Amino acid sequence: MKRNTGKLFRSGILPVGLILAAGIPVFAANVGVVVFGHDAVLHGKPLPAGKYNVEWKTHSPEASVQFVQRYRVVLFTEGRVERRNRVYDANSVVYDVAPDGTLSVTEIRFANSNKVLVFDK
């Protein structure tokens, strides 16, 4: 057993695997996939309909949030993370509708979590 482990360490496979495995939970906690069914705006910036990876870094409770589509950052903005008394069943987007019909993103809720990204007007 010691010989096999030694070979794995020398080849670099085991250390790389351990590093990757240790980093996965960190990334998973601050990334969610959301589908926008409608064109919207967020802080005055357009956010076209489509599927996005939403990635954020918290500054307790403020957060820097980026919307990524096909490996390209489409929008970078600020928001905050709030904890709710409820755990949501699915990823969802909450919109505010302006008098002209424009949809503004106000919240993003994530499945199996009580954390919500909130965006002020």
22-79 residue pLDDT tens: 444 334 458 999 999 999 999 999 999 999 999 999 988 899 999 999 999 999 999 9
34, 58, 69 from 95: Cα distances, Å: 13, 22, 20
Alpha-carbon distance of 30 to 8, in angstroms, equals 31
Supply the pLDDT for residue 61.
86
**24 within some domain:** no
Quick one: pLDDT band at residue 14, thresholds 50, 70, 90?
very low
Alpha-carbon distance of 1 to 20, in angstroms, equals 23
**13 within some domain:** no
Maximum CA extent, the chain: 71
**92 within some domain:** yes
Q: Is the pLDDT of residue 84 over 80?
A: yes
Q: Can you read off the two tokens belonging to residue 112? A: 């199996």
**86 within some domain:** yes
Alpha helices in the chain (DSSP H): 2-11, 13-29
Domain that holds residue 112: 31-118
**2 within some domain:** no
| Cβ-based neighbours of 56, under 8 Å, separated by 6 or more | 30, 63, 64, 65, 66, 79, 81, 117
**48 within some domain:** yes
**11 within some domain:** no
Q: How many domains does the chain have?
A: 1
List of E strands, 15-114: 31-36, 40-42, 45-47, 50-59, 62-69, 72-83, 92-97, 103-109
**53 within some domain:** yes
